[in-house]
Amino acid sequence: MHDDQARAYAEEVGVVLAQMGTTPSFGTLLGWLMICDPPQQTSAQLCEATGLSKASVSTGMRVLQQSGLVRRVPAAGRGHAYEIHEDAFALAVDPTAKMRDFLDVVQKGLDLIGDDDAPQARRLARTRDFYVFMMNRMPELMDEFRASQEGSS
């Protein structure tokens, strides 16, 4: 893999994730960390590899750390580097917490409408039912994913 191909890949991840609501730099950094060698990258290496500014890298890495996708690790000397968790997406995904928050808002909407037969209430109830279903299935799906990964190691 050539550097220009790797950079193009990282930028493509940035574009795809931007379509999902993140910033392009967030996605570019994540894309780079998914394929870079060595897997630990300093801020300077990230700037050079991705063409992003120091400020963009700093902000992006802070967000990636907070999301649980990336961790900060010691680097040679007194510095630090970043690496993506091997199970980054499985670790970072706690959809049930976000789903609970959304369910709370949906319930407030149902309380506001008050009439269970109103079209708005039916839409909200269907949304609630979907999220309850997903919340109930998510632990099983996460366990199944982890088991599949243990079997493939």
Query: Where in the chain are the domains?
Result: 3-86, 94-151
Which residues does residue 138 pair with via DSSP β-bridges, in sequence order?
none
Residue 20's pLDDT is what?
85
Q: Tokens 């309850």: give the residue.
A: 132
Protein fold of 3-86 = Arc Repressor Mutant, subunit A (1.10.10)
Is 22's pLDDT higher than 90?
no
pLDDT tens for residues 125-150? 999 999 899 889 988 888 888 888 88
Ordered alpha helix ranges (H), 1-153: 3-19, 24-35, 43-50, 54-67, 88-92, 95-113, 119-152
Number of neighbours of residue 92 by Cβ within 10 angstroms = 15
Q: How far apart are CA 56 and CA 8, in angstroms?
A: 18
Is 92's pLDDT higher than 70?
no
Q: 85: pLDDT confidence band, cut at 50, 70 and 90? A: confident
47-59 average pLDDT score: 96
Q: Which helix (H) or strand (E) holds 84?
A: strand 80-84
Q: What is the chain's mean pLDDT, rounded? A: 88
Is 90's pLDDT higher than 80?
no
Residue 15's pLDDT is what?
94
